């Protein structure tokens, strides 16, 4: 069960069809944050099933694994406990497992995607996640790792690189655990370019945005409570000829709330 999101990424790759990833991060005024990531793989699943003969569809391990996921938010702790695979008595690991939730999304009986939620994570929780995710292989939106103190969010735009997803595909852990080699980075970038048609993150704040300092082409203020990041996949994963120079590329974006 803990590898289900990795299966999603692999399904998208082997089907050679586009997936979309949309994240929402809510920044709470107590300095914690909640991240919800939705991976839409409807087109990939349809393509994969059309390529697989009926006689072997039931043997597809990836699809069978996804079918095990509940349709409602369920914590990793509950999932592992239900399957009899709970291997830790460490209270810190259990605390994190109880704050990470997964569910499958479906239209009728057909799986269309998977969602991951990290509920009310603190700085300490994200620090603990580094070791925890070496086995879990969870993709983490790097925007959730930016500095947030309950009032001010500082975005390091050098982290607008989606390395977390590259690491998952290359068999690594979350961002920062281990750097990819130049060869791995090139191969994984090619996979990402093939797999995804859009990746974006919405940053939402409980309090009204007071000011935004700094500019970046991929970052747009949507309203008084939210900011949107739309990644340019050609710039990140395409050839040099696909890359367009940025008009705005400040190293830091600072969002201050009331």
Confidence check: pLDDT of 178 > 70? no
Confidence check: pLDDT of 33 > 80? yes
Taking the model in full, what pTM does it have? 0.80
Average pLDDT of span 18-29: 88
Confidence of residue 225 (pLDDT cuts 50, 70, 90): very high
Predicted confidence at residue 170, as pLDDT, reads 52
Predicted confidence at residue 140, as pLDDT, reads 72
More confident of the two residues 17 and 146: 146
Lookup: tokens for 150: 């309950």
More confident of the two residues 19 and 213: 213
Range of the domain at 56: 4-257
Partnered with residue 36 across adjacent β-strands are 24, 117
- 3-class DSSP state for residue 252? strand
Confidence of residue 174 (pLDDT cuts 50, 70, 90): very low
Partnered with residue 223 across adjacent β-strands are 226
Confidence of residue 236 (pLDDT cuts 50, 70, 90): confident
Strands (E), 3-126: 19-27, 33-40, 74-75, 100-107, 110-121
Predicted confidence at residue 86, as pLDDT, reads 78
Confidence of residue 169 (pLDDT cuts 50, 70, 90): low
Predicted confidence at residue 104, as pLDDT, reads 87
Q: Could you tell me the CA-to-CA distances from 40 to 115, 116, 170, 191 in Å, in that order?
A: 9, 12, 21, 17
Predicted confidence at residue 234, as pLDDT, reads 80
Partnered with residue 106 across adjacent β-strands are 111
User: pLDDT, tens digit, for every residue of 42-89?
Assistant: 776 666 666 555 544 454 555 666 677 889 999 989 988 887 777 778
Q: Could you tell me the CA-to-CA distances from 9 to 23, 39, 154 in Å, in that order?
A: 15, 9, 29
Q: How many domains, the chain?
A: 1
Predicted confidence at residue 53, as pLDDT, reads 52
Q: Could you tell me the CA-to-CA distances from 241 to 62, 181, 184, 245 in Å, in that order?
A: 35, 23, 21, 11
Q: Which residues of 117-147 are buried (b: 16+ CB within 10 A; e: fewer)?
A: bbbebeeebbebbeebbeebbbbbbbbbbbe
Predicted confidence at residue 49, as pLDDT, reads 64
Confidence check: pLDDT of 246 > 70? yes
């Amino acid at each position: 069960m803990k590898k289900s999101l990795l299966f999603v990424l692999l399904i998208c790759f082997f089907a050679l069809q586009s997936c979309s990833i949309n994240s929402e991060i809510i920044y709470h005024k107590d300095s914690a944050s909640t991240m919800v990531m939705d991976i839409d793989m409807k087109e990939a699943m349809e393509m994969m099933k059309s390529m697989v003969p009926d006689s072997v569809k039931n043997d597809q391990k990836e699809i069978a694994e996804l079918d095990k996921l509940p349709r409602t938010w369920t914590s990793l702790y509950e999932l592992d406990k239900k399957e009899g695979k709970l291997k830790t008595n460490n209270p810190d690991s259990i605390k994190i497992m109880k704050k990470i939730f997964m569910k499958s999304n479906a239209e009728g009986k057909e799986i269309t995607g998977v969602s991951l939620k990290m509920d009310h994570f603190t700085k300490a929780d994200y620090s603990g996640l580094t070791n925890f995710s070496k086995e879990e292989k969870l993709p983490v939106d790097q925007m959730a790792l930016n500095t947030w103190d309950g009032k001010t969010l500082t975005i390091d735009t050098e982290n607008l690189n989606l390395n977390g997803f590259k690491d998952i595909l290359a068999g690594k852990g979350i961002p920062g655990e281990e750097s990819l080699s130049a060869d791995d980075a090139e191969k994984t970038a090619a996979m990402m370019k093939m797999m995804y048609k859009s990746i974006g993150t919405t940053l939402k704040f409980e309090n009204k945005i007071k000011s935004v300092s700094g500019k970046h082409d991929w970052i747009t203020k949507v309203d008084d409570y939210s900011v949107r990041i739309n990644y340019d996949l050609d710039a990140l994963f395409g050839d040099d000829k696909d890359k367009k120079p940025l008009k705005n590329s400040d190293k830091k974006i600072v969002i201050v709330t009331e």
